[in-house]
Chains A and B, each alone.
Chain A
Amino acid sequence: MIYEAGSYDVVVIGAGHAGCEAALASARMGCQTLLATLSMEGIGLMPCNPSIGGPAKAQLVREIDALGGEMGINIDKANLQMRMINTGKGPAVQSLRAQADKHEYHRELMKTILQQEGLHILMAEIEDIQCQDEQVCAVITRTGARFACQAVVVTSGTYLKGRIIVGDLAYEGGPANQFPSVKLADSLRSMGITLGRFKTGTPPRIDRKSVDFSKMSEQPGDPDVPNFSFITPKANREQLSCYLTYSNKKTHQIVMDNLNRSPLYTGVIKGKGPRYCPSFEDKVVRFAHKESHQLFVEPEGRDTDEMYVQGLNTSLPEDVQMAVLRSIPGLENVRIIRTGYAIEYDYVLPSQLKLSLESKKIAGLFTAGQINGTSGYEEAAAQGLIAGINAALKVKNQPPFILKRSEAYIGVLIDDLISKESDEPYRLLTSRAEYRLLLRQDNADLRLTEMGRSLGLVDDYRWQIYQNKKRQLDSLIELLQKTTYTPADKTIAGYLQKKNSAPIKDRVSLWELLRRPEVNLSDYVEMGLIPPQNPDIMEQLEIQSKYEGYINKQREQVIRFEKMENKLIPADIDYDTVSGLSSEALQRLKQFRPESIGQASRISGITPADINVLLIFLKRKEGIR
């Protein structure tokens, strides 16, 4: 029996990393929001690796944070180790990575959700989304509650028709022994949405008490713990270590001997898995010449003995998993707490979405996170935030919020998803970003806080911190540019000599001098040339000055890039009436329906000649109007 249970502006289905951001954003933007989840434990659950951040992903977290999202703040509360990765490889790729305390992460996120004004949480399975005239109007739970709404954000992760596989065992299920979500997939299909099938896997978890760490090398965190969020005050929490060990020939032999029992190789698993996250059996087969693979043993929390074996993601039968583990130094007597498994699930082909993450077909229907064919917590959270923002804007009848590839990794992520076909789960990489030197983790706040403020997501506290930082930056730049020295000046000459730096020939400013790699701001402070400064400010300015040449090069490229991005293609364009398109281009354009000329040019199979033809068609249309 279906009954009327109430009405909301926005309903978010799923309380994973995407769903939580979506719901918080929507509620914070003033929309009455319902957040439905299959289970309360599923809120902010990390079903796979216990870490957040790393290359490209740290940039995402900082961007989410600058826009007023929750992920950065939450991981700052719930980490057990922080490390800066890629130091020395340059500012664009330097990235923070946290080991998360999974339980604390879940608890803290749940607390925030429960305290959020305008947001109601409901433990229920949504089975159906109802539409009227191709516009969503309600959702219905398994127990018959009908909630009317204007927008729905679906963030069902890996749960849609989830199927768990361990060796020759396969059963319907969600990750981490949660229930799968079956009917919702059919509801989406009946709306005319095309679904595909992907697979991913996770390693076994082992008991800390059964591990001999003396045979592994210890990986401690950074002594000075940095934060993800721009507003988290400095705090030094106690850090836990990770441990590194290696597989060996014996391990690989065990895998090879049991390949006939691997569902990946017997054909039981049909969904396509990610190349960047291969199963251990895949690595052994594909890189047969490698005699060992590194494995990190990582704590899953402060109040648990469960440890994650990074690098050993597998769907081999349980007895083989045990044998594999016990062949590894330090794990000779290991006990498994949770068995590794693979999971297959339905996802929405993302070419069916607009850049706002709204369905091209059904108005008011948004999808975000793993359901869009991505993987990773950060990718999910970023999409959740954007979908939540755009659902709220839709309800308010305002134009969507879209970040360009030149503005944020979030823009790269969503544009890639929508304009490129991928036959594996999508993961963001720094190499996917054209303007990497502009999209750094250190300047995410400078890039995005103002946008977050005008969306209503940046509160006064964050806004004040941001404005303060900006003021300090501006005044220090001014001071550095204004303060100049001549070759005759003894202080500067002596300093440069000490640094083995060439003497100056003309009058230079402190700012110009800073471009030299060997010159830095803390020396200026030490010499009393400038007053003491906040380290963040100094870092920011040193990056801006030392990489100015490369940064300016990329800025120029962005100007050219944005010209094409700003040439919009009307949503109602009838490609069949565009004469001169190649037949491949015609088919691709009809499939993807790009929103701008720039986006069209990134679709594979579209040539420059096709782009010219499109430009001319648009021009002519404009002329006729």
Chain B
Amino acid sequence: MSDRIVAISTPPGEGAVGIVRLSGSGVVETVSGFFHPYNKDLPLTLRNNFSLNLGWLLDLEGEKIDEVLVSVMRAPHSYTGEDVVEINCHGGSLAIRRCLKRCLDTGVRLAEPGEFTKRAFLNDRLELSQAEAVIDIIRAKTDRGLKLAVQQLGGRQGQLIADLEEQLLHLNAMLEASLDFPDEVGDLDDAEARRILESCINKIKQLLKAGQRAEVYRDGINMVICGKPNVGKSSLLNALAQKERAIVTDIPGTTRDVIEEYINIRGIPVKIVDTAGIRETEDLVELIGVQKSKEVIENADLVLFMVDFSAGISDEDMDIFAGIPAEKMIVLVNKEDIEDKKISPAELREKFQNMTVIKSSVKMETGLDELEQAVYDLVLGTETMHDGLEIMINLRQKLALQNSLAHMQAALEALGTMPLDCLGVDIWGALERLGELSGKSLKEDIIDRIFHDFCIGK
């Protein structure tokens, strides 16, 4: 029995096709759980060794992530000597990452650097003479990984993590001291524990948010412009593209094909999805309710919904509007230069309550700055903009933070209802996961802290 591991096995940004590789007992069953082959009668688990299988990858809700090619190699006839599945994604770096995330969601562990090779070796799939080479790979990858992690821990975010560690250590010490030295320390101060947990949860969320922001800058966002024909969608696109004078085409793995436009809004690469389709069919309305449009909107990070002062708001418009999730929508009311407005301010207020509504004239180039600001705010959030955190976290760090957060939340929930020894499981868990960021084990530190923070001794 070997536990299941997964990693992206093509370096990021090298070609449009990326491979996500899994190894370990039961990975065929794992992938079969979210792979939907075109030949429905033959699930992955019944496919032959070394077969290549085409189909769809589904997310947790059963929605399609990407069209993929899946190959199956069962133990012992595989690179690692264990069951191996490789998922070939087409949809660029975003699809690869979503695919990886899907695997992680099923409880598969992210592979350590060099772990596939190590397994191959331990399972006799590599020659003994290759041992040195394997050691080199593992050493190089691990050491480089650690160095990177340590470098990243400098500066503001390093301070934040150090604060977190410090607070969590203190909390751990408080709890443990009350368990090991009940006469001297007494009971855990629940209110203090709650305060610390809440503050830690806040800090972690801040870090994750900052990381997410960096991801936005690195990977960009998907934006869909939708609205009836003639509201000014292509004019807007041209205006934005011209204004920023940066039609990004040299993003690795993408070509400037008809269906994708890249523009740059305040440094964020924005991919405008399916504009060609929208332009050419000229009739998104027809598509509403159809699977295709749902998919486009589903996959978008942001939807720009356009209406037209000269045309008024029709039932058709409201149908489109109803199909867009409110939290990622901006309403743009175009052609405000027109004298004869068919939309009153009162109507706007009533129909688009609690929405970001921006008036513009693409023709006169008004409202475009506000639009850009609104896009920026929606994607990056307004509240954490000035925390000065510029942090690029990799997936491993993100997982460590997320796992630590989950433990803290569980602890907060258990506080006051479960006994302290159970609480200890999660409070220690939170610290242990956090330790993965710096590669430290913090167990001994807790004991040092007990003696440092509390007067103990008989």
A residues neighboring B (CB under 8 Å): 49, 55-56, 85-86, 88-93, 275-278, 282-283, 286-287, 290, 293-294, 296, 310-311, 313, 420, 429-432, 436-437, 517, 547, 550, 553-554, 560, 579-580, 604, 607-609, 612-613, 615-617, 619-620, 623-624
Residue B422 is within 8 A (CB to CB) of chain A in the complex: yes
Q: Is A283 a contact of B135 with CB atoms below 8 Å?
A: no
Q: Are A293 and B179 in contact (CB under 8 A)?
A: no
Question: B318 an interface residue at 8 Å Cβ cutoff?
Answer: no
B143 within 8 A of A: yes
- B88 vs chain A, min Cβ distance (A): 29
| B176 CB-CB contact with A under 8 Å | yes
Find residues 170-184 in chain B having any chain A CB closer than 8 Å to their own CB. 176, 178-184
Q: Let me know if B121 and A93 touch, CB within 8 A.
A: no
Closest CB-CB distance, B409 to chain A, in whole Å? 15
List of A residues within 8 angstroms of B422 by Cβ: 90, 92, 437, 547, 550
Question: B292: CB under 8 A from chain A?
Answer: no
Known: A90-B420, A429-B447, A436-B421. A612 touches B118 (CB 8 A): yes
Given contacts A286-B455, A431-B447, A436-B421, contact A294 B131 (CB under 8 A): no
CB of A552 to closest CB in B, whole Å: 11
Contact A437/B458 with A429-B447, A612-B138 known, Cβ cut-off 8 Å: no
A547 to B417: give the CA distance in the assembly, Å. 12
B425, B446, B458: residue with the most chain A Cβ atoms closer than 10 Å: B458
In the bound complex, do residue B455 and residue A311 qualify as a contact, i.e. CB atoms below 8 Å apart?
Answer: no
**Which B residues between 412 and 458 are near A, CB-CB below 8 angstroms?**
417-422, 424-425, 439, 443-444, 446-447, 450-451, 455-458
* Interchain CB contact under 8 A, A290 and B455: yes
Residue in chain B with minimal CB distance to A601: B441
Chain B residue at minimum C-beta to C-beta distance from A51? B458
CB closest residue in chain B, given A86: B182
Task: Give B residues with C-beta under 8 Å from A.
Answer: 3, 112, 114, 118, 121-122, 124, 128, 131-132, 134-136, 138-139, 142-143, 146, 176, 178-184, 187, 417-422, 424-425, 439, 443-444, 446-447, 450-451, 455-458
Chain B positions within 8 Å of A608 at CB level: 112, 142, 439
* 23 A-B pairs in the complex with CB atoms less than 8 angstroms apart: A88-B419, A89-B178, A89-B420, A90-B419, A91-B419, A91-B421, A92-B424, A278-B456, A287-B455, A293-B455, A296-B183, A420-B444, A430-B176, A430-B179, A431-B447, A432-B443, A550-B418, A580-B136, A607-B439, A612-B142, A615-B118, A616-B122, A620-B131
Query: Would you call A609 and B138 a contact (CB within 8 A)?
Result: yes
Nearest B residue (CB) for A554:
B425
Cβ of B44 to closest chain A Cβ, rounded Å = 27
Residue of A nearest to B138 (CB): A612
Which chain A residues border B457 with CB–CB below 8 Å? 275-278, 282-283, 311, 313
- Once A89-B420, A431-B447 are accepted as A-B contacts, the answer to whether A437 and B425 lie under 8 Å apart by CB is yes
Chain A residue numbers with a CB within 8 Å of B439 are 607-608
- The chain B residue sitting closest to A580, CB to CB, is B135
Q: List, in ascending order, chain A residues with CB within 8 A of B419's CB.
A: 88-91
Closest to A203 in B: B458
Pairwise interchain contact B139-A431, C-beta atoms closer than 8 A: no
B182 near A85: Cβ-Cβ < 8 Å? yes
Contact A624 B128 (CB under 8 A): yes
Q: Do residues B179 and A580 form an inter-chain contact, with CB atoms below 8 A? A: no
CB A142 to nearest CB in B, in angstroms, measures: 36
**Which chain B residues lie closer than 8 Å to A615 at the CB level?**
118, 122
Bound: A476/B443 CA distance, A: 39
- Given A93-B421, A437-B425, decide whether A613 and B138 contact each other with a Cβ distance below 8 A: yes
User: Smallest CB–CB gap between B169 and chain A, Å?
Assistant: 12
Cα-based distance from A333 to B447 in the complex (angstroms) = 39
Contacts of B112 in A (CB 8 A): 608
* Chain A contacts for B139, CB-based, 8 A: 580, 609, 613
A89, B422: Cα distance in complex, Å = 9
- The answer on a CB contact under 8 Å between A607 and B180 is no
Given A293-B455, A612-B138: A437 and B450 interface contact (C-beta under 8 Å): no
Q: Is the CB of B180 within 8 A of A616?
A: no
Task: Establish whether residues B143 and A432, one from each chain, have CB atoms under 8 Å apart when the complex forms.
Answer: no
Contact B425 A553 (CB under 8 A): yes
Contact partner, B128, options A431, A579, A612, A623, Cβ 8 Å: A623
**A90-B447 in contact given A310-B458, A620-B128 (Cβ < 8 Å):** no
Query: Across the two chains, which residue of chain A brings its CB closest to B127?
Result: A623
Across-interface contacts of A620 in B (CB, < 8 A): 128, 131
Residues of B within 8 A of A90 (CB): 418-422
A55 contacts B180, C-beta separation under 8 Å: yes
Given contacts A276-B451, A430-B179, A608-B142, list 19 more A-B pairs with CB under 8 A. A86-B182, A89-B178, A89-B182, A90-B421, A91-B421, A282-B457, A286-B455, A294-B183, A311-B458, A429-B176, A430-B421, A437-B421, A550-B418, A604-B444, A613-B138, A616-B122, A616-B134, A617-B131, A623-B124
Nearest CB in chain A to that of B429: its residue = A553
User: Which residue from A85, A431, A613, A623 sits with its C-beta under 8 Å from B176?
Assistant: A431
CB distance from B224 to the nearest CB of A (A): 43
Bound-state CA distance A275–B446 (Å) is 14
In the bound complex, what is the Cα–Cα distance between A579 and B424 (angstroms)? 40
- How many angstroms from the CA of A562 to the CA of B219 in the assembled complex? 41
Do B121 and A619 touch across chains, with their CB atoms under 8 A apart? yes
Nearest-Cβ distance from residue A586 to partner chain B, whole angstroms: 14
| Listed residue (A55, A286, A624) with the most chain B CB atoms within 10 angstroms of its CB | A55
What is the chain B residue whose CB lies nearest that of A615?
Answer: B122
Q: Which residue of A lies closest to B177 (CB)?
A: A431
- Of the candidates A310, A609, A616, which one forms a contact with B143 in the assembled complex, judged by CB atoms under 8 Å apart? A609
User: Distance (Å) between the CB of B445 and the closest chain A CB?
Assistant: 11
B420 partner residues in chain A, CB cutoff 8 A:
89-90, 93
In angstroms, how far is the closest chain B Cβ from the Cβ of A73?
Answer: 25
Q: Distance (Å) between the CB of B151 and the closest chain A CB?
A: 17
Residue of chain B at shortest CB distance from A279: B457
One of B132, B135, B184, B450 near A431 (C-beta < 8 A): B450
User: A612 near B425 (CB under 8 angstroms)?
Assistant: no
Residue ID in chain B nearest A309 by CB atoms: B458
Q: Which residues of B contact A293 (CB under 8 A)?
A: 455
| Chain B residues within an 8 Å CB radius of A420 | 444
A275 CA to B453 CA in the complex, in Å? Answer: 12
What's the nearest-Cβ distance from chain B to residue A281, in Å?
Answer: 12
Q: What's the least CB distance linking A10 to chain B, in Å?
A: 35
Q: How far is the CB of A409 from chain B (nearest CB, A)?
A: 12
B179 touches A616 (CB 8 A): no
Considering the chains assembled together, what is the distance between the CA atoms of A554 and B136 in angstroms?
Answer: 35
In the A-B complex, the 4 residue pairs with the closest CB atoms: A90-B419, A90-B421, A92-B421, A580-B135
Quick check: B455 and A431 within 8 Å, CB to CB? no
Are B425 and A550 neighbours in the complex by a CB distance under 8 Å?
Answer: yes
Complex Cα gap A604–B448 (Å) = 15
Contacts A88-B419, A93-B179, A311-B458 given: A432-B447 contact, CB under 8 Å? yes
Q: A311-B457, A550-B422 are in contact. Are A430 and B180 (CB under 8 A)?
A: yes
In the complex, A547 Cα to B423 Cα: how many Å?
Answer: 11
